[in-house]
Each structure stands twice: as structure tokens, then as C-alpha cells.
Chain A
């Protein structure tokens, strides 16, 4: 039923005049044109912020205790690395809806950084650079390859991530050449694996690869 708002000289079916909000009718009816909106509870964001807050709380508290009690030995670094890694794992890997490829790459990078911090804090015998990081990169490249082989339809989506993994694969060798790292075989093996992945990508998907490169680099 139409009501007339004398104040605005317009007709409306709504209980209140949409223009001046005056009450025109007592009848509570459905709005014919619009739904009542559900307010989306942004739980995910809240959870992420909570995780971040707990992390900041933990790091700052341990930093304070460390500095007040034993400033010569910086043991809070043992807290810092794992906590930062934990934040990333919960907030990005579990709670975000990012692409699996990007989750894998971020895991590799953050895990490497955390292990490097732990390594450095514990007297820097460089076990992280020598063995763990090359191994991690190889494992992640293998993991992404497996995903792609299981879902060949999704291959195109993963090209960017695969390429990033291949580039990361050469990182350990660069570390070796710049004499940061002194054990050659894990780095060399990783580089070879990355190279093989690259050759595989080119051989088995010539056209898709080329097409993808054209798209991604068009200007």
C-alpha cells in the first residue's frame, strides 16, 4: 500500500519516509524491494589480529625479561624466530584464503628465515644454510610439482609459483659462490633439481609457458 509523505510530497510503500524518516504507518511490513542485510561477522580478521597481538605480547615480554636479567645472552631470539613463524603459519597458511602456491613459497621463505635466526643465535655453525634450506627448497619444489601433476588443469595458475621456486632453487648455490656457505653438495643438488624442473616445464608445456610469459610481461 502506498503512503504519502506530506513533508516531502512523495509516495512510498515503506513504513518510514525514506527521505525524511518520518513515520507514515504503523504496519510492520516487509520491504518489497530490499532485504534486511546480514552483517557479516568478520571472525577471520579478528582471529588474525588476536594471533598478532599474542605474538607481540610474547616477544616484547621476553625481550624485556631478557634485557633486565641477562643482557649478555640474547636468548629472546629463540622466542622471536618461532613466534614470527607461528604468526605467519596461522595467519597466512591456515587462516588466509591465499593461493596454495603462495602459501608454499611463504612457508619456505619464513621457515628458512626462522631456522637461520635460530642457527645464528645458537653460535652459527651454519647448519641451516648448509643443509636445511637447500633441502627445504627442493622439498617445496617437489610439492608444487606434485600438485600440478595431480591437477594438470590448474597448471597455468602455478606457473608463476613454479618459476619462483626454480629461482629460489639457485639461491643456495649463490650462497656457496659468495662463500657464505661452505658445503657444496646440498646446494648443487638443489640447483640441479631446480634446473631439471625448469627443463621439464619447458619441454612439457612449451606453448602454455610461452603464452603465459607473453601475458605476464605484456606492456
Chain B
């Protein structure tokens, strides 16, 4: 009962900026091959929360910072009846900052971003599915490079790695240019469209263009945004995609809390720009920005604002206003869309054979009303776009181009009831 954790650096930010139209809630889901049994899922959830106490937390208010406290209530699995990534109401979840839902064959976990990032959430759902399959009487094994699920929780899992890797280096001052921002008629729903395709074929396509899947897909998105929004316009703004980077790959860490950076990749597109040019520019920028030195800068930048002594003792409500202002005018203005790639999920064959495919959904926000995310398991790559505007033009063009130009077979599905 006494366990408590300071919010990590990114967690503080998400907590400060979240609101009805910016839920800071993301989803990772697995679509199983059989119908999900809720009673077994509940048993699995109880097991996992016991092993991963970092996730069984609620928010408490402090004078200078809010914090996370161990939550001893029970988290119930719910039948899915809300839009994906809906704001988490602690009263509905017994104080938990996450929810676990099921619908037909899908098991979904949704996290408030203050608790963990995509990597942490992925570990959680892997452990959940493992225990679920065990309760279903399946003979499965588990593997992960990050945690040992059969062991006691390790101290590393609750590390605030931003603090561990911050250096004294003076951050360089540079102002990031603004990006074109997607606008549209707002709707009070989150519509998601998933496109399921062969991971191997997309990998081959990216390889043929001498780049990675992330760069390839991001370039296609930039092209789609240009085609739908900026083509017939005198002023050609830069179109930038924000790409979250898992810092654990460059700064060794076993933390299950937030530990990611964001790089903005983009360019100004004109009528004469070819897709090849966009692809090569995007891959070049990605290579340059996803380096240890430049990401070190972003860690230092992030930690700097919260450890500056004058900022520390400002009472929380004022601090939150400052964070929101910074978020709106620096973070959200420099991107048109966020596109995250969780990559290929490593699972033992025994588990993989029970999973049809996986999904990851990023919450859209007012300033970034369409966001994309992708995840692959086995040969099934799913690219998902969530949006809170009526217009599906960019998403439609993206999938159309992908299937027509590159001759890919794509299955799309959506929660758009019509």
C-alpha cells in the first residue's frame, strides 16, 4: 500500500495536457483466432497485475507534482462498448489508469500515457495473452528481452530512465519550423481504419527503395497529405510526421515506464517532387535524427524544464498551464501527424499460433486529428489510422496508393458503423 512512484518525465507532460479531445490514451490489441472468454481473461489480468505492479496504479494529487500510487482495487475486464482510446475515467476503472476490454476475438488494453509507453504496453499485453492462454489450458511458453515474467518484479522495471541518462551537456538552441496541420470537420467520435497486409511484402518494397518500413510508410503518408491537402495551394508548407523512437534501443534500459523520444521528419513537397525523392529525403532525415547524440539532446531538453529549480517550486496548477502552453505551441505545431511503428512483435511460435493479428491505435488530438500506428506479428502487418474529423481523404489516398501503385493486397476494416 505504501508504494508510490513519481511520474516520469513524459508522464508529467501527458497528465498535464490530457483532456476530452486529447485523451492521451493509446491501445494495443490482439485479435485472437478464437472467441475471447472473459472469465479466463479476468483470471489472466489478476495474474499479470500481480507480476507487473507498475501498471496497477492510480493518480494522486500533490502540491508540486502529482504522483502514482499503488492501487489495491480490482481491475475488471470490460466488454468493449466505447470508441478506442476514449478518455479513462478513474471512477469507471476503480482508479486504474488503464482498461482491458474484449470484443469477439479481440483482447485490447488501453493505457493512459503517463503510466507507460508502447514498449511497456506491449510487454503488458504479451504477458496478458500468455496468462490467458495458460488459463485456457494451452501449452505455451513466454519470451521477452525486457522482463522475466516468472521472476519477482525487478527494480529496473520501474526506473525513470530519462533521469538515468540525462547529461550536463548544454542543449543546443534551435527552433523547429512549424508544419502544415491537418484540419477538418470535428466529430465527437474516434473513427479508426485498419489496413491489414503482408509484412514481408512491405518489407521487400521498403528494401527495394533502399529504406526501412517506417521511412517508406511515412513517405507515403507525406505524399498522401500533399495530394489531398496541399496540391492546389500557393503556399507549400513543410509536411512533417512525428515519429516516436524507442530509446531503449540506444540507451539500454529495462524500464516499463515511458522511455521514448520523438523525431520530426518531413519536407516541403511540390508538384515536381516524386515519391522516390520523398522516400530518400525521409530516410536520410531518419538516419540523421535517430542517432544517440541527437536523442541525447532530446532527453536533456525534456528533463531540463522539470528540474530547473525555479520551475520545481511553482504550484501545480500554474505549472500545468505552462506545460500546456509549451505543448500547444512547440510540440503540436511542428507535426501534421504522428506515426508510430512498434515493429515486429517477437513471440514464441506456441503463442503466435493463437493470434490472428495485432493492432495499435494512437489517440488523435485536436491539433493532430489523424494519427497512425503500425504493428506486425508473424506476416500480418496492420497499419491503423485514428481520426476525430469527418474527412477520410488522406487515409483513403494512402491505402489506395499503397494497393494500386505497389500492387499490395490490403484488407481494411473500421469501427465506422456505416
Contact = CB atoms under 8 A, between A and B. Distances in A.
A114 B161 CA distance: 51
B146 interface: no
A103 interface: no
B418 A10 contact: no
Interface string B375-414: 0000000000000000010011001100110000111111
B201 to A, nearest CB: 14
A167 to B, nearest CB: 14
A218 B64 contact: yes
B413 A18 contact: yes
Contacts of B417: 31, 34, 36-37
A9 B106 contact: no
Interface string B24-63: 0000000100000000000000000000000000001111
A215 B413 contact: no
Interface in A74-110: 97
Interface in A174-219: 211, 215-219
A33 interface: yes
A37 B414 CA distance: 13
Interface size for chain A: under 10, 10 to 19, 20 to 34, or 35 or more residues? 20 to 34
A37 B104 CA distance: 14
Contacts of A11: 409-412
Given A9-B400, A32-B104, A215 B412 contact: no
A35 B80 contact: yes
Interface in B140-195: 189, 193-195
A97 B91 contact: yes
Contacts of A17: 412
B415 interface: yes
Interface residues of B, number: 45
A10 B403 contact: yes
For chain A, what secondary structure do more than half of its interface residues adopt (helix, strand, loop), or is it mixed? loop
Contacts of B415: 31, 33-34, 37
A211 B2 CA distance: 8
B328 interface: no
A20 B400 CA distance: 10
B81 A35 contact: yes
B313 A219 contact: yes
Contacts of A19: 193, 392, 395-396, 399-400, 412
A215 B195 contact: no
Contacts of B63: 216-217
Given A9-B403, A35-B80, A14 B396 contact: no
Contacts of B194: 33
Contacts of A21: 418
Interface string A41-73: 000000000000000000000000000000000
Nearest to A157: B60
B74 interface: no
A35 B80 CA distance: 7
Interface string B305-342: 00000001100000000000000000000000000000
B6 interface: yes
Interface string A1-40: 0100000111111101111110000000001111111100
Contacts of B60: 215-216
B413 A37 contact: no
Nearest to B193: A18
B4 A12 contact: no
Contacts of B400: 8-10, 19
12 contacts: A9-B400, A9-B410, A10-B403, A11-B410, A16-B418, A19-B193, A19-B399, A31-B413, A33-B103, A34-B80, A35-B103, A37-B189
Interface of A: 2, 8-14, 16-21, 31-38, 97, 156, 160, 211, 215-219
Given A34-B415, A156-B1, A215-B4, 14 more contacts: A10-B400, A10-B411, A11-B412, A18-B193, A18-B414, A19-B396, A32-B413, A34-B103, A35-B81, A36-B417, A37-B189, A215-B62, A215-B69, A219-B313
